[in-house]
Chains A and B, each alone.
Chain A
Amino acid sequence: MSTANRETPRPAAGRAGIKKELPAHFKDYRHVWVFIELERGQVHPVSFELLGEGRKLADKLQVQLAGVVLGPPGEAVGNAVAEAFAYGADLVYIAEAPLLADYRNEPFTKAMTDLVDTHKPEILLLGATTLGRDLAGSVATTLQTGLTADCTELDVDTDSSLAATRPTFGGSLLCTIYTLNFRPQMATVRPRVMPMPQRTDKPVGRVIRHKLSLAEDEIATKVLGFLPDNQSAKANLAYADVVVAGGLGLGAAENLQLVKNLARAIGAEHGCSRPLVQKSWMPADRQIGQTGKTIRPKLYIAAGISGAVQHRVGVEGADLIVAINTDPNAPIFDFAHLGIVTDAIRFLPALTEAFTRRLSPHSRDKLAS
């Protein structure tokens, strides 16, 4: 993705239209790799989402899908390997070393670039988490190859190259990016952008171990401690089944309480659109959209949100989108499934009350009888 001030986007301009032949030393780069993000004993679910996408790419290319697990010796790596196979990997590369216990840029970059140089994948996918983005930038620069961030769609072109689509210009347009003449082709994808694939119990297959040639005293950065987020304060928006969010249409910060009340009544997480974070009405970890969290709930209720493209790309994976907005021409009605043209400030309390009535144990008993 271009970061220099490029003028108007021109499709297939200049070099883009020409496909040179891949240099000979890149021709033996094959197979699709997914970085299995293991931190403090847990695999980040985005790794499984990427295995699902990687499987499709590998099948189209008729190559193998490999997981890459980097971590400290012990049970966690073993579990991560088993899960990688359960989510579709054909083989798994492992680098196990005590100095990979906590994420640090130096040893992880070294392990990943060594693995790539040795085993030569054509595609390398990583989650666009804080860890994945930190690692991907270093690995791509070390390998001097292309990296496309925050992809929303991955596909294989007729000439077998990776077509990586991502939002551009602040999320107002989409663009498809290719890495010509360099390997591996690298891309990151944000959590929840891709659906979670089916998990099937499978025996652990082929495992290839890599010995990391790096000693602790060669690493300048030391971990002094880790402070986990307060669980009760932590927003789990990305993986919530039901989400209620508010936008500028709520008019004032105190009206966000109406969103929180509805969320509490139906056991949902609450969030907001970008302008509310910019106004400091809600903390940044509650922001939904391209630069905030991508969500894929079963039900998403958007109150007073107009639905700019950058918000849309963050919520489109929802099974059912309900929009409440006073403006019948708001773009949110173009991608919501159900809409009500009304003032969210007045409607939210009525909806909360109606849900409470409908979901109360008493009415459930009636429903059952």
Chain B
Amino acid sequence: MPAPDRSLEKPPMHIVICIKQVPDSAQIRVHPVTNTIMRQGVPTIINPYDLFALEEALRLRDAYGGEVTVLTMGPPMAEDALRKALGYGADRAVLLTDRYFAGSDTLATSFALSQAIAKVGETFGTPDLVFTGKQTIDGDTAQVGPGIAKRLGLLQLTYVAKIPSIDLAAGEIKVERRSEGGTQMLKSRLPCLITMLEGTNEIRRGSIHDALCAARSEVLKWSAADAGIEDLTKCGLRGSPTVVKRVFAPPARAEKAALIDTAEKALRDVADELITAIFTRQPALEHELAFNGGA
């Protein structure tokens, strides 16, 4: 029997998703004297925005077939985040970890990640889609996704709320993305980079099968050299055009709030007193509120 002609067949879809391990910001404390972050004992999580991108990647794989590779850059402990992603059902995990990456700003981070994605592509198949979250909860810059897209020459679709269809054969994708004051419907080409908007889906509960696979599968650990990075001057502190010169706590306001006494008073009287205090400080407001209000 002749072998099927594979040259006409599109290989299965390959999706790369970049995630970041972040400290759980709800539990961050600042040292009162040194003003530094007290990281000891602060649990780490997968950046919550990345979970929407991960779920979308898994959903597309389930719908269209293919594989999901999850990639992160970080210290060795970031392996935990990758194991969690495997537990949700990702097929493969790569940890990019090297002291040369320390102190990277967004430009250096996008350089390292784009090189690693190129290497993932060489090794496991060129990705059709690269996903990132909208932004991280610790940096909040939303710059690394666009940076990766530009460096890899991928089309960039940010703040995507929905992916109604993908036509792998034609290399076409339709998305709905958030823009100021509305939703933009776009048609674009694969391969592309998508940053996923929050609240668009809900991360699945990983199956027992996925949990077992996650426990058994190996997380690939790549150094800069493993990722094929030759130009180390573009990495870490050296490759970062921005420099943090000063970190400080927001200055305290000189005076605290003037408290309105509530002791032994009816709530009605306290409310009247508050309104008088508001209008004393902002006299123009009384007219505006009367005009605006439902009265």
Contacts and interface: CB of A to CB of B under 8 A. Distances in A.
Contacts of B198: 284
A5 B292 contact: no
A117 interface: no
Nearest to B34: A8
B180 A168 contact: no
A208 interface: no
B140 A11 contact: no
Contacts of A131: 179-180
A338 B274 contact: yes
A171 B286 CA distance: 34
Given A149-B141, A177-B242, A334-B256, A340 B270 contact: yes
Contact of A178 (B139, B155, B243, B289): B243
A337 B178 CA distance: 36
Contact of A320 (B78, B188, B282): B282
B262 A341 contact: yes
Contacts of A360: 295
A259 interface: no
Interface string B255-295: 01111101000011011101101100110111011111111
Interface stretch (B60-68, B104-112, B220-228): B104-112
Interface in B137-187: 137-147, 149-151, 155-159, 174, 178-187
A290 B139 CA distance: 12
A5 B155 contact: no
Contacts of A37: 180
Interface string A52-89: 00000000000000000000000000000000000000
Contact of B257 (A129, A148, A338): A338
Nearest to A290: B140
Interface stretch (A92-100, A179-187, A198-206, A249-257): A179-187
Interface string A133-173: 11011101110111111100000000000010001111111
A226 B105 contact: no
A320 B281 contact: yes
B21 A355 contact: no
A177 to B, nearest CB: 5
Interface string A304-325: 0000010011000001111100
Nearest to A340: B260
Contact of A170 (B138, B145, B181, B262): B138
A210 interface: no
Contact of B253 (A2, A178, A319, A335): A335
Interface in A330-369: 332-342, 346-347, 350-351, 353-356, 358-361, 364, 367
A5 B75 contact: yes
Contacts of B88: none
B149 to A, nearest CB: 7
B38 to A, nearest CB: 9
Given A320-B278, A353-B271, A359-B293, A2 B258 contact: no
Interface in A239-284: 241-242, 264-268, 283-284
A280 to B, nearest CB: 9
Contacts of B236: 4
A2 to B, nearest CB: 5
Contacts of A312: 250
Nearest to A148: B242
A24 B274 CA distance: 61
Contacts of B73: 4
B3 interface: no
Shortest Cβ-Cβ A-B pairs, 5 listed: A267-B292, A137-B146, A170-B25, A339-B257, A146-B241
30 contacts: A3-B104, A3-B105, A3-B141, A4-B73, A4-B104, A8-B36, A11-B247, A44-B180, A136-B143, A138-B156, A146-B241, A169-B25, A169-B37, A171-B25, A173-B35, A173-B249, A178-B243, A180-B243, A227-B185, A241-B288, A267-B291, A283-B199, A298-B288, A299-B285, A322-B274, A323-B257, A339-B259, A339-B260, A340-B259, A347-B267
Interface of A: 1-12, 14-16, 37, 39-40, 44, 102-106, 109, 129-131, 133-134, 136-138, 140-142, 144-150, 163, 167-182, 220-229, 234, 241-242, 264-268, 283-284, 290-291, 298-299, 309, 312-313, 319-323, 328, 332-342, 346-347, 350-351, 353-356, 358-361, 364, 367
